[in-house]
Structures are given as C-alpha cells and as structure tokens.
A = this chain, B = another copy of it.
Amino acid sequence: MATMTDVAKAAGVSIQTISAVINGKSGISAATRERVLRVIEELDYHPNMLASSLRSQRSTTIGVLVASITNPFFPGVVRGIEDAAQRNGYSVFLCNTDDDPAKQNSYLRLLRRHRVGGLIAASGTGSVDGQRIVEYLLDHGVPVVILGNRQGHPRMVALTVDDHIGGYDATAHLLDIGHRRIGIITGPPSHREAKERLEGYFAALRDRSIDADPDLVVPGAFSTAGGQAGAFQLMSLVAPPTAVVAANDLAAIGAIAVAKRLGKRVPEDVAVVGYDDIEMAALYDPPITTIAQPLYEMGTTALEAVLERTRDPKLEGGVITFPSRLIVRGSTVSANTSTHVAGT
C-alpha cells in the first residue's frame, strides 16, 4: 500500500510537496503538480485519513443519530445530510438508536472514539440522552445539530418546523373547502410536535369563529394503529365529523382504512389530512393531503450548520425554523383522477 513517501520518491520531490498537492495548497508549480498527480495515479495512492486526522486533529467525519432508519421520516433527512456531506468531502457514520437510550449512549461513545468532527441528532422523540457526551462535544468545539427545538447549550443548533402553523394550515384547508365539523386525532401529548399541531387546530377554528367541540379531539399516536383507534372513536359519535386532521401520514392511513371499512367514501363522506408527506402519502389510495416538511433541505441545512461551525468554532447556536407546506391531494379533494398514483 503506497504511502506519501513512496509517491515522493517516485516523483523525485519531497514528501511535503505531495502533501501540498493533495491539500490544494499554493506554492507548487503546475509542472510538478502535474507530475505528482500522475505518480499518485500510477501508484494507486490513497491518502490515509486516519493518519491525517490524527496528526491534524481535524476530522472529516460526522455522526448521524436517527431513531429508526426504517421509519419513512428519516431517510429523507439522511439523504439530505448525505448529499451535502459528499459534496464537502465528509463521511457519515449512521447510527440507528431505536429510541433506546442505552443504544444511543453506546453510539455516542463510539462516535467520540472516532473523533467525529460533528454530530447531527435526528432522534425523533428527541430525548437526547448521553447528555454528558453531547455536552463534552459542544464544550470541545464539536458542533452539534439537533432536529427538534430543544436547546440547553449556547452552541447547540436546533432545527425545527413550526408545527403550530402546520396544524393551522391543515385545519384551515378543511375549513376552506367547506367543512365545519372537523375532528383531530392527536399524537402523544408528551410530544411538543403533537401539542403545537393541536394548538394550531384550535387557532384555525377560532379564527373562523367556530366553537371547538371537545368530542372531536381524540387521542391517537404517530402510527397506523393510532389512526385507526382515533378514527373509530370519531366515527362512533352521534354527529361524526366530516373531516379529520390526523397526527401524521401513518395515522391518516389508519383513519382512511377505518372510514372505508365503515362504508364511508374518502373524501366525499369524510376528508382526511395527514402530516409529514412520507412517500406513501402520494402513493396511497386516495393520495393523502398532507403537511410536508422539507426533510431533504433540513438534512442539507443540518450538515451545513455543522460545517460552518467547524470552520468558525465561535459561531453561536440557535433555532432554525423551517416552513411546512400544505399539499392538497385526493383525500380531501375528489378529482376525476382520485385513483391516480403519483410517482416520486
């Protein structure tokens, strides 16, 4: 396995000329640069980043914590991180925490051993355990970006979407198309996201001077099962709603399934709005109206925030809020092409 010294010898130059060429430093004539590059090619030389990072105390790897890579929410974010990392010559350590604090801690230790240059935690529920390690990283100049609006450290960056607005928009859309009895299947109250979406729901009703009916607010979960349970409860009412805001897209799918089973047509008899815009939302029958979060962009932004802070460690943290976006599909507005399945 060729080393820098080998290349230097073969090219008849000094070892630090090689280093300069590789790291794109100035002060090398075009001729020697050319020759060095040719020798590198010939010898199939690949710089050893272990040695480089060890010596320079700089790392081009970052750790990415996700709750569950099989949850359709995360791959979108990871893809954004990944692409931005690739563009900048960074590599990504993927860590699947399964929302298990022990696992997360174990991963954080591992990342620490690898001397990652940054950390992005998209742990979903957000309970970032392993505080000590996270704080250690932050205190030692390693940037940390978290998805969700928790803070707690002046150098921590938090990425979030305004769930209040999302809940508002979902509800307002249903109001706009004529619905007056609108149910909501909420997520777990422990989640900030769920709470804020519910507040947005109430705000939208208030703005149209519609009294909120407590019966129309039912507990659910961020899952199909939660959506099914919530929908059952709503549909069992004496005066069931004509529209439903679901906790997220999975819950919307559960709700739609229940509605169909009860012989209701979607959206004619009951309209349903989801949240997240997972891939399945566009592919479902009917395609699901939803509040999209810019997952990919959140990923690229997260990585860029890390990069900025590796370059300038004095940069402060803060909260970056992303816009959500209503995407209207067949689950609220019937179209001739209600069975049309959009590709991705």
Q: A326 at interface (Cβ–Cβ under 8 A)?
A: no
Q: Is A76 positioned at the interface, with any CB of B under 8 Å from its CB?
A: yes
Residue of A76, A79, A343 with most partner-chain B CB within 10 A: A343
Contact of A48 among B115, B339, B343, B344 (CB under 8 A): B115
B96 touches A93 (CB 8 A): no
A128 CB-CB contact with B under 8 Å: no
Least Cβ distance of A139 to chain B in Å? Answer: 11
Which of B44, B113, B283 lies in contact with A47, CB distance below 8 A?
B113
- Nearest residue (CB) in B for A103 is B86
Is B79 a contact partner of A114 (Cβ separation < 8 A)?
Answer: no
A106 part of interface (Cβ distance < 8 Å): yes
Question: Which of chain B's residues has its CB closest to A82's CB?
Answer: B96
Confirm or deny: A6 has a beta carbon within 8 angstroms of a beta carbon on chain B.
no
Q: Are A339 and B260 in touch, CB under 8 angstroms? A: yes
A46 partner, pick from B82, B113, B343, beta carbons under 8 A? B113
**Mask of A192-207 contacts with B, CB within 8 angstroms, 1/0:** 0000000000000000
In this complex, how many residues of chain A approach chain B with their Cβ under 8 Å: the count is 68
Task: Establish whether residues B96 and A94, one from each chain, have CB atoms under 8 Å apart when the complex forms.
Answer: no
- Say which one of A145-153, A232-240, A249-257, A310-318 lies at the interface with B: A249-257
Copies of this protein in the assembly total: 2
**Given that A54-B54, A136-B44, A224-B341 are known contacts, is A89 also in contact with B70, CB under 8 Å in the complex?**
no
With contacts A75-B69, A79-B69, A253-B283 taken as known, whether A49 is within 8 angstroms of B113 at the C-beta atoms is: yes
| B92–A69 touching, CB < 8 Å | no
CA distance A29 to B209 in the complex (A): 76
A174 within 8 A of B: no
User: Which residues of the other chain, B, contact A15 by a CB distance below 8 angstroms?
Assistant: none
Q: Which residues of B contact A44 (CB under 8 A)?
A: 132, 136
Contact in complex: B46, A69 (CB < 8 Å): no
Nearest CB in chain B: distance from A294 CB, A: 14
Interface string of A50-81 (1 = CB under 8 A from B): 11011000010100100011101001101100
User: Taking the nearest CB of chain B, how far is it from the CB of A138, in angstroms?
Assistant: 14
Q: Given contacts A224-B342, A260-B285, could you give 9 more A-B pairs where the C-beta distance is less than 8 Å?
A: A69-B75, A75-B75, A86-B106, A91-B93, A91-B114, A224-B344, A253-B341, A261-B339, A261-B340
26 residue pairs A–B, Cβ–Cβ below 8 Å:
A44-B136, A48-B113, A48-B115, A49-B114, A49-B115, A50-B50, A50-B54, A50-B115, A51-B54, A68-B79, A69-B75, A70-B75, A86-B95, A86-B106, A91-B93, A93-B93, A224-B283, A228-B341, A250-B283, A254-B341, A256-B285, A257-B285, A279-B280, A280-B280, A284-B284, A285-B285
